[in-house]
Amino acid sequence: MSRWQSALIDPQLPGGWVLAHCKQQFLADDNGVLFPREWLKRQGLPVISEQGLGHLGDDPIYLLELAQPATVLGCSWLGLRQFMLQDDDERFHMLSYATQVGTWAREHRFCGSCGAANVQIPGERAMYCQTCDLRNYPRLSPSMIVLLSRGDEILLARSPRFVPGMYSTLAGFVEPGETVEHCVAREVREEVGLEVHNIRYMGSQPWPFPHSLMFGFHAEYAGGELRLQEDEIEDAQWFNVRQLPPLPASRSIARYLIDSYVAQRLGLAQPVLPS
């Protein structure tokens, strides 16, 4: 696949390729998710916003955000998580960006202060309320994700929302007035009742489900007994690095945190942080 580069493109320009998106799903056919732009716009789709996204190689790419998934002959709708499991980094980067822009365009059609219709500002990724003089830019929600270790053991947990059998690291959203490090200690205490120390930053990853920026950490066990937050965690266990349960997808920062510590304990090559 050609190189993907995000950029602000005027949707008034003709030509190019287009993605059709609705609630983290993309329209696809046997050739993929990109369609000739002018052709797809003639299909009578319920478009609520059109956005210029960037370039794939030399080709301009646009996005049609739809009010609901529409039927197009020979096409089906695929979820973003399905693309995350495929070995195509450029396509996943492009679709990750597209779903965040599309979600923002959908959620900011009207002013959150007065309810008036917003207008998009030409040449800027911003929605504007003329009544309130209020601008809304694409939203990012900062959150932390942490791997907790105790020698050769790591703490992994299950949310009721996970696929059966899979365990992952702990995560949570940063609250107003706290640092990400404070969030790490608070979330671990709230979700599993443990105390941590030696909190170390490992890297970050955009997480488009729907618009998070994940800050990854490693922390060491400092004390306490497992006490689960019932509405968030259905199970949590200490696992030996040589005997791990099913884990998150390799493209996720959660898997990177796990693989990094396993590599450290077993003397293996360090993994690369997914971009």
Give this prediction's pTM.
0.89
pLDDT tens digits, one per residue of 62-88: 999 999 999 999 999 999 989 988 878
Last residue of a domain, one of 87, 107, 127: 107
Within 8 A by CB and 6+ apart from 213, the residues are 140, 141, 142, 143, 204, 205, 206, 207
The residue range of the domain holding 185 is 141-266
Q: Where do we find the tokens 């997808």?
A: 249
What is the band of 98 on the pLDDT scale with cuts at 50, 70, 90? very high
Higher-confidence residue of 274 and 94: namely 94
Task: Answer yes or no: do 154 and 241 share one domain.
Answer: yes
Count of structural domains, the chain: 2
Task: Answer yes or no: do 164 and 246 share one domain.
Answer: yes
Residue 123 maps to a domain = no
Q: Give the separation between CA 78 and CA 72, rounded to whole angstroms.
A: 13
* Percentage with pLDDT > 90 across the chain: 90
Residue 130 maps to a domain = no
What is the band of 1 on the pLDDT scale with cuts at 50, 70, 90? low
What is the band of 250 on the pLDDT scale with cuts at 50, 70, 90? confident
Residue 214 maps to a domain = yes
Cβ atoms of 106 and 115 closer than 8 Å = no
Whether the bond into 36 is cis, omega within 30 of 0: no
Task: Answer yes or no: do 85 and 146 share one domain.
Answer: no
Within 8 A by CB and 6+ apart from 114, the residues are 129, 131, 132
pLDDT higher than 80, residue 266: yes
